[in-house]
Structure 1
Amino acid sequence: MKNTIAIIGILVLVFFLATACLNPQEVPMINIDESINMYIVADPHYMSEKMTEDSQTFTNYLNTVDRMMKYTGVFLDIMEDEIKKNQPDIVVFPGDLTNNGSRVNHLEFEKRLKKMKSKGTKIYVVPGNHDINNEKALYFKDDQIHLAESINEVEFTEIYNDYGYGEAISRDENTLSYLAKPYKNLWLLMLDTTKDYPEPGGYINRDTLNWIVSCSDMAKEENAEMIVVMHHNLLDHSDIIWEDYTVDNNTSVLNTFHEIGIKVVLSGHIHIQDIKSHTSVTTGNTIYDIATSSLPVYNHQYGQLIYSPSKGYDYETIKLNVEKYALENNLKDENLLSFNEYSEQFFIDNLCRKHKESIGLLELSDEQKKEAFITVVEMNKKYFSGYRNEALKEHIESQGFEIVEGLDECFIQEYIMGMIEDQNADNNKLHIPIN
Structure 2
Amino acid sequence: MIKKILGVFVLLLTGFFLYGLNEKKDAKQELQAVAPLVKEEEDLTIWMVTDIHYLAPDLFDDGEAFARMKATSAGKDLEHIPAIMEALVWEAAKEQPDLLIVSGDLTFNGEYQSMVELADFFRKIEENGTQVSVIPGNHDIHSGWARKFQGEEMEVVEQVTPEDFEGIFAEFGYDLAISKDPTSLSYVIEPKEGFPFLMIDTNIYSEMKSTKAPIAEGRINEETFTWLEEYFNMQGEPQETYLVGHHPLMNHSGREGGGLVLENSEEATEFFVEKGIQAGFAGHIHAQNISKTDHFKVPFYEIITGALSIFPNAIGEITLSNEELSYQRKTLDVEGWAEEVGNQAPELLAYSQTSHDFFKGDGEILALQMMFEEQWYEEIYEEDVMDFVGMMNVRYFSGEDYVEDESLLEELTNHAGYQIIQDNSETFLKRYTNQLLQDKNLDDLSIVIPHKQ
TM-score w.r.t. length of structure 2? 0.84
Instruction: Report the residue type matching 1:309 in the other structure.
Output: N
Deviation at residue 140 of structure 1 after TM alignment: 2.5
Q: Following TM superposition, by how much is the alpha carbon of 1:52 offset from its aligned partner in structure 2, in angstroms? A: 1.7
Q: Does 1:313 align with 2:325?
A: yes
Distance 1:357 1:266 in 2: 33
From 311, 318, 338, the counterpart of 1:298? 311
1:373 CA drift (Å): 2.8
1:205 and 2:214 aligned = no
Moved more, 390-399 or 53-62: 390-399
Residues 380-404 of structure 1 show CA distances to partners (whole Å, capped at 9, x for unaligned) of 1101111225265332342332333
CA change 1:354–1:193 in 2 (3 A) is: same
Alpha-carbon contact 2:201-2:246 (below 8 Å) kept = yes
Instruction: Supply the AA of the counterpart residue of 1:203.
Output: R
Q: Which amino acid aligns with 2:215?
A: E
In the alignment, residue 248 of structure 1 is paired with which amino acid?
E
The yes-or-no answer on 1:185 pairing with 2:194 is yes
2:388 pairs, out of 353, 366, 375, with: 375
Matches within 5 A, 1:144-159: 144-159=153-168
**What is the CA distance between 1:160 and its match in structure 2?**
0.9
CA contact (8 A) 1:30 1:309 kept: no
8 Å Cα contact 2:240/2:451 also seen in 1: no
Return the match for 2:254 from 221, 232, 239: 239
Q: What's the offset of the Cα at 1:243?
A: 2.9
CA-CA distance at 1:280 after TM superposition: 3.7
| In the alignment, structure 1 residue 71 sits paired with structure 2 residue 80 | yes
Q: Does 1:359 align with 2:367?
A: no
What residue is the counterpart of 1:410 in the other structure? Answer: 427
CA distance in 2, matches of 1:170, 1:243: 32
| Aligned residue among 99, 103, 121 for 2:108 | 99
User: Quick one: distance in 1 between partners of 2:442 and 2:192?
Assistant: 33
The corresponding residue for 1:327 is 339
> 1:116–1:134: structure 2 CA closer, same or farther, 3 Å change rule?
same
TM-aligned CA distance change 1:272 to 1:242, over 3 Å: farther
**Correspondence list, 1:8-157, <5 A:** 26-27=35-36, 30-31=39-40, 34-66=42-74, 67-157=76-166
Identify if the C-alpha distance between structure 1 residues 369 and 280 changes in structure 2 by more than 3 Å, giving closer, same or farther.
Answer: same
C-alpha separation in 2, matches of 1:193 and 1:209: 11
| Amino acid of the structure 2 residue aligned with 1:299 | P
Distance between the aligned counterparts of 2:315 and 2:173, measured in 1? 20
- Once the two structures are superposed, residues 10-63 of structure 1 have per-residue CA deviations (whole angstroms, 9 ceiling, x without a partner) of xxxxxxxxxxxxx9774366545x321100010111111121223222222222
221-230 or 79-88: bigger deviation = 221-230
Cα distance per residue 1:204-239 (max 9 Å; x no partner) = 1222123223333344x2543211111111111111
**Structure 2 CA distance for aligned equivalents of residues 404 and 157 of structure 1:** 48
Classify the secondary structure of the residue corresponding to 2:241. strand
1:336-369 CA distances to partner (integer Å, 9 max, x unpaired)?
2332333233223323312222235554764444
CA spacing shift, 1:81–1:218, aligned 2, 3 Å: farther
Decide whether the 8 Å contact of 1:390 with 1:425 is kept in 2.
no
Paired residue type of 1:214:
E
8 Å CA contact 1:178–1:190 kept in 2: the answer is: yes
Identical residues among aligned pairs (%): 27
The CA distance in 2 between the partners of 1:218 and 1:298, in whole Å, is: 42
Using the alignment, how far apart are the partners of 2:379 and 2:71 within structure 1? 25
Alignment partner of 1:395 is 2:412: yes
* TM-score normalised to structure 1 length: 0.87
Equivalent residue number for residue 11 of structure 2: none
> Residue type matched to 2:86 in 1?
D
1:340 aligns with 2:348: no
User: Of residues 212, 224, 230 in structure 2, which corresponds to 1:214?
Assistant: 230
For 1:297 and 1:172, the matched residues in 2 are separated by 32
Q: CA deviation at 1:322?
A: 2.4
- Report the 3-state secondary structure (helix = DSSP H, G, I; strand = E; otherwise coil) of the residue aligned with 1:131: coil
C-alpha contact (below 8 Å) 1:359/1:373 kept by paired residues: no
Determine the C-alpha separation between the residues in 2 that align with 1:370 and 1:75: 31
Maintained 8 Å contact 1:388/1:425: no
Of 119-128 and 137-146, more deviation after overlay is shown by 137-146
In the alignment of these two chains, the number of paired residues is 408
Distance 1:189 1:265 in 2: 9
- Structure 1 residue 253 and structure 2 residue 268: aligned? yes
Of 237, 240, 251, the match for 1:225: 240
SS of the residue 1:390 aligns to: coil
Distance change (3 Å), C-alpha of 1:96 and 1:179: same
CA contact (8 A) 2:326 2:447 kept: yes
Distance 1:368-1:47 versus aligned 2 partners, 3 A rule? closer
How far apart in 2 are the matches of 1:26 and 1:142? 50
Report the RMSD for the aligned CA atoms in angstroms: 2.3
Letter aligned with residue 327 of structure 2? Y
- How far apart are the structure 1 equivalents of 2:175 and 2:430? 49
Quote the Cα distance in structure 1 between the aligned partners of 2:265 and 2:304. Answer: 15
* Aligned CA distance change for structure 1 residues 353 and 425 (closer, same or farther; 3 Å): farther
In structure 2, do the counterparts of structure 1 residues 26 and 250 end up closer, same or farther at CA, with 3 Å as the change threshold?
closer
Cα gap change, 1:218 to 1:123, in 2 (>3 Å):
farther
